[in-house]
Amino acid sequence: MSTDTAGTVQLDRLGRVLLEAAPDAIVYADGEGTIRFWNAGAERLFGFTAAEAVGQSLDIIIPEPQRARHWTGFRHVMETGESRYGHGDLLAVPGLRKDGSRISLEFTIVPLLDESGRMEGMTAILRDVTKRFEEMRALRRELAAARAVKA
């Protein structure tokens, strides 16, 4: 990586382009769980514009039955800086779209630390895997039915 001024400018530009143009949803939430960044991929995935999402709680994309568990984990990570996820591990969870429909998501998290090393917030990189999830569920049902016929 170049550390000269020109290289830094190029990396800054690259970072902005990647954040804005990535096909995956990229969402940054501060330490309180308030959305502070919402890219075009998040708009496509969840149906909220950036203007609608920024400043809102992450609750707008978390189905109600999963919220308590989410916030327990979120607070733990914000307090300790430790997560079971965040070293490239994929987490699979349900998500909520603006129209109220549920989707299946896989995502990774990237913690943002302040200068003193304390958790400042988290970025999630999310992808819709609903079609794959539904196909796997259908295959499992077919397999179970085939096993039941054999038994």
Give me the domain span that covers residue 140.
24-150
Cβ-contact 26, 19 below 8 angstroms = yes
Domain count, the chain: 1
pLDDT digits 0-9 by tens, 75-133: 998 998 877 665 667 888 999 999 999 999 999 888 899 999 889 999 999 999 988 77
Distance, in Å, from the CA atom of 20 to the CA atom of 9, rounded to the nearest integer, reads: 17
What six digits make up the tokens of 145? 């039915």
Determine the pLDDT at residue 2: 45
pLDDT at 1 over 70: no
Determine the pLDDT at residue 46: 98
Residue 125's CATH number: 3.30.450.20
Task: Look at the pTM and tell me if it is higher than 0.85.
Answer: no
The answer to the question of residue 1 being in a domain is: no
35 in helix, strand or coil?
Answer: strand
Cβ-contact 71, 93 below 8 angstroms = no
The answer to the question of residue 8 being in a domain is: no
Cβ-contact 122, 111 below 8 angstroms = yes
What six digits make up the tokens of 54? 């920024």
pLDDT at 4 over 70: no
pLDDT digits 0-9 by tens, 5-62: 666 678 888 888 888 888 899 999 999 999 999 999 999 999 999 999 999 999 999 9
The answer to the question of residue 42 being in a domain is: yes
How far from chain centre, in Å, is Cα 8? Answer: 27
